[in-house]
Chain A
Amino acid sequence: MIASTITLHHCLFLSILIFSIGAFGVLVRKNIIVILMGIELMLNAVNLSFVSFGYFNSSLDGQLMSFFVMTVAAAEAGVGLALAVTVFKKFKKIDIKLFETLRD
């Protein structure tokens, strides 16, 4: 398993591992903020796969894609945290179950 050179497979496997850990966090946690952190982990894993594809193909597009993903992730975190603040104002708790009452 310990290879002398790092190939694309190594980078992609690391990316898959981080993505699965983030998905597990989204599934298992109650706190909205920690769920958002799990989503950030998953987006970071996707960024890693984009950058490593770009590196191993000598292409610039991977880096630009990860740049776009970062911007969208920052925007997504902003909206998610605003929703969390709204839910906390009403219920004084940040449980993911309370999101089902978001309509009113």
Chain B
Amino acid sequence: MSPTIFYSLSIVLVVFSLLVVLCKNPLHSALFLALAMIDLAFIFFELKAPFIAAVQLMVYAGAVMVMFVMVLMLFDLKEDEESAFSGNPVINVFKFLSAGLLCWAISSKLFSYGDVAGLGAGKEFDIKALGTTLYTKYIFAFEALGLLLLLIAVGAVALSRTKGGTHDS
């Protein structure tokens, strides 16, 4: 993978992720989240995982983001804009510091390991190998995921089945 491509994609990804968190309008957050996911799909493509990149584009940037935006459209967004962040600014500074501490704690452990480059990097797998592994080695996980999705579909309908709409007509 070329360093130039990786660095530019990384910078764009970090900027979009920060904008997701910091934008006051939730719709703008949703837009930047979709852009960050598309950017991440490019990174997956660069990491020679084209199937995962395609699934990322379809499932995340397509389906999940459409779901987010449609639910946002149900809500009244106007009143939340001035109080988008919880707590007072001092507490938020401490929250930022704790997130930075999390980042520092994991990455200091990471950089204490030696250089691990070139462990046969760059081998590309075709989709046939992916499907074969999915249906042999991971068949139980695959079936369990199917059951989970069925439960989720039933549960989501049961949760939002209560009478009345989101707005008084």
Contacts and interface: CB of A to CB of B under 8 A. Distances in A.
Interface in A75-89: 75, 77-79, 81-86, 88-89
- The A contact surface, by secondary structure, is helix
A46 B90 CA distance: 30
B162 interface: yes
Contact of A74 (B33, B63, B166): B63
A94 B116 CA distance: 46
Contacts of B162: 86, 89
Contact of B52 (A9, A14, A21, A63): A63
Contacts of B48: 55
A35 B164 CA distance: 25
A102 to B, nearest CB: 10
A81 B85 CA distance: 20
Given A21-B14, A64-B138, A70-B56, A33 B71 contact: yes
Contacts of B129: 60
A2 B133 contact: no
A82 B80 CA distance: 19
A56 B37 CA distance: 22
A59 to B, nearest CB: 9
B84 A38 contact: no
* Interface-centre pick from A56, A58, A63, A77 (highest chain B CB count, 10 A): A63
B52 A66 contact: yes
Interface string A21-51: 1111101111101101110110010011001
A56 B165 CA distance: 50
Contacts of A40: 33, 60, 64
A20 B95 contact: no
B162 to A, nearest CB: 6
Contact of B14 (A7, A17, A78, A82): A17
Interface in B6-56: 6-7, 10, 13-14, 17-18, 20-21, 26, 29-30, 33, 36-37, 40, 43-44, 47-49, 51-52, 55-56
Interface of A: 2-14, 16-25, 27-31, 33-34, 36-38, 40-41, 44, 47-48, 51-52, 54-58, 60-61, 63-64, 66-68, 70-75, 77-79, 81-86, 88-89, 92-96
List the 3 closest A-B pairs by CB distance, nearest first: A25-B21, A24-B99, A7-B117
